[in-house]
Amino acid sequence: MRGSPLGIEAPALVLGATGLLGTRLVPALAAECETVTHARSVGANYSADLADSHVTAQMLDAVRPSLIINLAALTDVDLCQEQPQQAYLANVKSIENVVAWMQARDAQCHLLHISTDQVYDGPGPHVENNVTIVNTYGLSKYAGELAALSVGATVLRTNFFGRSARPGRESLSDWLSRCLLAGAPISVFDDVLFSPLSLGTLVHMILRTARIQPRGVFNLGAADGMSKADFAFAFAAALGVHQPAMKRTSSRVFRPLSAVRPLDMRMNSRRIEVALGVRMPRLQQEIESTAIEYRDAY
Ligand SMILES: NC(=O)c1ccc[n+]([C@@H]2O[C@H](COP(=O)([O-])OP(=O)(O)OC[C@H]3O[C@@H](n4cnc5c(N)ncnc54)[C@H](OP(=O)(O)O)[C@@H]3O)[C@@H](O)[C@H]2O)c1
C-alpha cells in the first residue's frame, strides 16, 4: 500500500501479535498501513512456531512484508530460568530464523525488534551499552538483540504497563487495579526501580519508530523512574482507591521467585528522543493517563 501514513510498502507483519503489547499495537498499526498478524497458536492471520525455520520461512514467503515488528517472546521470567531451552527457542532461535529468511531472500524489509529493560542492573539510569545480565530471560533477550542487529534492525528496549486487551493476560497495572479494588493484601517492592511507559505511549512511539526506522539499540522508557512501590502507591492515588492492605517491602525478603530480578532497570532514553525528535513523558504523567483508562472502565 504505497502512500500509507507510515510511508512503507505494506504489508507490515506483527510477530507475536496476540500478546499484551500486540493486542494494543495491531489496531493502531492497522489504521496506518496494511497489517498482517502472527501468533504461535490461534487468534492471528498466521500461526507458526518461529523456532521452526521451515514454517517461519513459508509464512514470510507468503506475506513478503516490508516491515516486521517482532513482539514474539517467552516473557515468563521464571519459566525462562527453569526452562532455558524454551527461552533460547522463543527469544533467540526465533529471531535467528527471521534474520536467516531476510538474508536468504535479500529482503527489502526492516526489522523492528522489541526487547526489555531486564538487560540492565546496577545503579541506573542506564545507557544502551551498560548491559548487566542477571537471569536467563535477560540473557536470551540480549542474544536475540544481537541476531536482530545483524540485519540492521531497530531494537527497542522497553517496559510497559496499561490495560490489557488480551483476556487472561494481565499487565502490572491490571494486577494492581484488581488487587486494590478487591482490597487484597499485596506487597510492593521499594528496592526495585524501573522507568516503564504506558501502553498508549509505547504504541505511539513504536509507530513513530516504524516510520523513521533508526538502526541500532535504543532505550524506550519514561523520562524518569521510580520504585515499584512508589509506582503502586501513585497508581492507587491516581485511581482514587484507598490502599490499607498494600505494604512496602524489600524484594530481598520475598523469594518465591525462581529467577533473580534486576534491582535497577531505569533507562536513559535520550538516544531515542534524538532519533525520533520527541521528549519522553515523566512516569507520573503516564500513571495518571493510564489511571483514567481504568476509571473509565469501572
Ligand atoms: N510484558 C511486559 O511487561 C514486557 C516488559 C518489557 C519488555 N517486554 C517485551 O515486549 C514484547 C511483547 O511482550 P508481551 O508481554 O506482549 O508478550 P506476551 O503477552 O507474552 O505474548 C507473546 C507473543 O509471542 C508469541 N510467541 C511466543 N513464543 C512463540 C514462538 N516460539 N513462536 C511464535 N510465537 C511465539 C505468543 O503467541 P501465543 O500466545 O500463540 O503462544 C504471543 O503472541 C516481548 O519482546 C517482551 O520481551 C514485555
Domains (range + CATH), the chain: 12-297 (3.40.50.720)
Q: What is the pLDDT of residue 3?
A: 56
Q: What is the pLDDT of residue 2?
A: 44
Residues with CB under 6 A from ligand 1: 16-22, 39-41, 49-51, 71-75, 89-90, 94, 114, 116, 141, 158-160, 169
Say whether pLDDT at 160 is over 90. yes
Q: What is the pLDDT of residue 291?
A: 97
Q: What is the reported pTM? A: 0.97
Q: What is the pLDDT of residue 69?
A: 98
* Ligand 1 atom index nearest CA of 157: 7
Is the CB of residue 51 less than 8 Å from the CB of residue 93? yes
Say whether pLDDT at 1 is over 50. no
Residue 110, beta-bridge partner list? 67
Q: What is the pLDDT of residue 256?
A: 64
Mean pLDDT over residues 71-85, rounded?
Answer: 97
Torsion of CA 73, 76, 77, 80, to 10 degrees: -70
Nearest CA to ligand 1 atom 31: 90
Q: What is the pLDDT of residue 253?
A: 82
Which of 127, 132, 154 lies closest to 142, judged by CA?
132
Nearest CA to ligand 1 atom 6: 159
Q: What is the pLDDT of residue 255?
A: 65
Q: How confident is the model at residue 66 (pLDDT cuts 50, 70, 90)?
A: very high
> What pLDDT digit, counting tens, does each position of 86-100 carry?
999 999 999 999 999
Q: How confident is the model at residue 18 (pLDDT cuts 50, 70, 90)?
A: very high
Percent above pLDDT 90 for the chain: 91
Q: What is the pLDDT of residue 5?
A: 75
Say whether pLDDT at 7 is over 80. no
Is the CB of residue 251 less than 8 Å from the CB of residue 134? no
- Average pLDDT along the chain: 95
Task: Kindly give, in sequence order, each residue whose CB lies less than 8 Å from that of residue 97, ignoring residues fewer than 6 positions away.
Answer: 50, 51, 52, 53, 56, 57
**Ligand 1 centroid distance, CA of 171 (Å):** 12
Mean pLDDT over residues 55-67, rounded?
Answer: 97
Is the CB of residue 37 less than 8 Å from the CB of residue 44? yes
